[in-house]
Chain A
């Protein structure tokens, strides 16, 4: 019997007469909690060391992603790192090259902030027609948008650590390199370090999970996930980008005009309805439409909902506090009377950017573009209450 099964059975406690839990003593305390055996939330697909595993957005309330369900994208698997041996090297165009242990970093002034991390490829399964075929009406919120997660991160502002090494005035970029089996590395404009970049070691109150970069990762608020280098082992200061594979061959965005956009770090504003959504079947009457909205450029200013296939829109309620570069929960009460319809959400961020339709994005980027898919997507509700993905916006 697996350990998980054991603890699940302990949690259920002694079997009670007639299944009435008030008629028998409950389970004792345990060293580490587990979910109720009736909750089956899981990432997927799993089992590949270079691939994407999506978080089950439809299972969540509020805004924080449970750490053990944070989406995963790895380029050479999750390394097994001994935190006592792990160091961070800062070198290149600095006065004094320095090596930091995790304990050294924890002696700096710390901050704790809530930010989302979103993979640049999030949304590709809803985009359609290309490598992945036509969008499947059976897409769930998890498959459609589950490469974003939102956490409370604790760490040290990168600028504080850079000041310790003394950055040369000639430096304009830095290379961030991870300690995984591909030494994943991205070139980052130095301005981000002096804006809001962090080196973090904690996620939702505990040490980072190995899949999120234990023992330390770079956190670049609002920027595409791959630039938030996990298992951070080295920062080199230089005058120009290094043009690693992950900023040339991949994570570049081909455009309709025969060019490819490079260093497209910022994540455009986006929203997704997480309920009702496929594979739910809904019944007539009042219900809450609920979902998440976020922008890599700041706060969500408003989310609008349409329940009549886009003819009219009304403002959703935003759950406070609305944080910059973090998931914002929106809700809207809806009285479904049994008509066939498509429900949509549309986010606007504090810069005035309005989440576009798929057709708008194709006009400016081309149908074959890759990464940064943030169009308005809908859920089609049939008279029998079944709900299906609708992507042709």
Chain B
């Protein structure tokens, strides 16, 4: 057997091993075109604002519910109300653990008010969203400490964390929301069955 044939065979074997890694052929790169510029770490850091449900991406910093209440009154209450009650239809209710809406019966009655406390499955989402999008008229203007404080205030007002919490990345990542286990993967698949 020639050396070249052996080499071709070993490449084929390597390739088939690679395919057995569990990924489909669709993910095999077809080719590249040498387009685009290499992104520097600084260019990535400038826009890489996302936070994951495991706390990945949370920045250094901390804040308390009391600090957050002051910021909330100044930056958030004009739309979301003094106590997070919201203003329909544009500004959602944020706070509330009314017994009437506890138990996740939203599928039966659309009027039950959804809040961070009785619906949102991840506490990290509060931080991520406030940092991305709030306040409405000056998004991205809060410091990380202020975002931690507002997050702490909203979680405390929803009876998720104690009022004396000093919220930081580790504490936020450890928060478990009461109804997280109610969220299920889409099980619709087409075909005759209506789901």
Contacts and interface: CB of A to CB of B under 8 A. Distances in A.
Interface stretch (B58-66, B68-76, B115-123, B156-164): B115-123
B77 interface: no
A38 interface: no
Nearest to A262: B183
Nearest to B31: A163
B50 A297 contact: no
Interface residues of A, number: 81
B36 A104 contact: yes
Interface in B21-63: 21, 23-24, 26-27, 29-33, 35-39, 43-44, 47-54
Nearest to A130: B110
B133 interface: yes
Contacts of A182: 132-133, 139
A40 interface: no
A390 B104 CA distance: 30
B8 interface: no
Given A183-B132, A265-B186, A248 B122 contact: yes
A256 B29 contact: no
A361 interface: yes
Nearest to A132: B110
A131 interface: yes
B105 interface: yes
A72 interface: no
Given A131-B110, A249-B125, A262-B183, A353 B27 contact: no
A163 B47 contact: no
A236 B121 CA distance: 22
B131 to A, nearest CB: 9
A368 interface: yes
A68 interface: no
B184 A262 contact: yes
A244 B33 contact: no
A242 B50 contact: yes
Contacts of B121: 243, 248
A366 B128 contact: no
Contact of B128 (A90, A131, A242, A354): A242
A249 B52 contact: no
Interface string B175-191: 00000001111111111
A164 interface: yes
A32 to B, nearest CB: 33
B37 A98 contact: yes
Contact of A369 (B107, B128, B129): B107
A76 B195 contact: no
B39 A259 contact: no
Interface string B135-146: 010010000000
Interface residues of B, number: 65
A76 B36 contact: no
A357 to B, nearest CB: 9
B183 A259 contact: yes
B178 to A, nearest CB: 13
B107 A352 contact: no
B107 A255 contact: yes
A163 B39 contact: no
Interface string B90-112: 10100000000001111111111
A96 B53 CA distance: 25
B114 interface: yes
A153 interface: no
Given A194-B26, A242-B50, A259-B182, A366 B139 contact: no
Given A89-B44, A258-B105, A361 B125 contact: no
Contacts of A260: 104, 106-107, 119, 182-184
A48 B89 CA distance: 11
Given A99-B39, A182-B139, A351-B190, A107 B195 contact: no
A185 B121 CA distance: 17
30 contacts: A99-B37, A100-B37, A105-B35, A131-B89, A160-B30, A177-B47, A181-B133, A194-B24, A242-B52, A243-B125, A244-B128, A244-B129, A245-B129, A248-B183, A254-B104, A254-B106, A256-B107, A257-B107, A258-B182, A260-B106, A260-B119, A260-B184, A261-B184, A262-B183, A262-B184, A351-B189, A351-B191, A353-B194, A367-B110, A368-B107
9 A-B pairs with the lowest CB-CB distances in the bound complex, closest first: A130-B110, A351-B190, A366-B107, A182-B133, A254-B106, A98-B36, A254-B107, A194-B26, A368-B110
Given A259-B104, A356-B194, 16 more contacts: A99-B39, A100-B35, A129-B110, A130-B109, A160-B30, A163-B29, A185-B50, A194-B24, A194-B27, A240-B53, A244-B50, A249-B125, A266-B186, A266-B190, A353-B192, A369-B110
Interface of A: 48, 50-51, 75-76, 89-91, 96-100, 104-105, 107-108, 129-131, 159-160, 163-167, 169, 175, 177, 181-183, 185, 190, 194-195, 233-234, 236, 238, 240-245, 248-249, 252, 254-266, 268, 297-298, 349, 351-354, 356, 360-361, 364-370
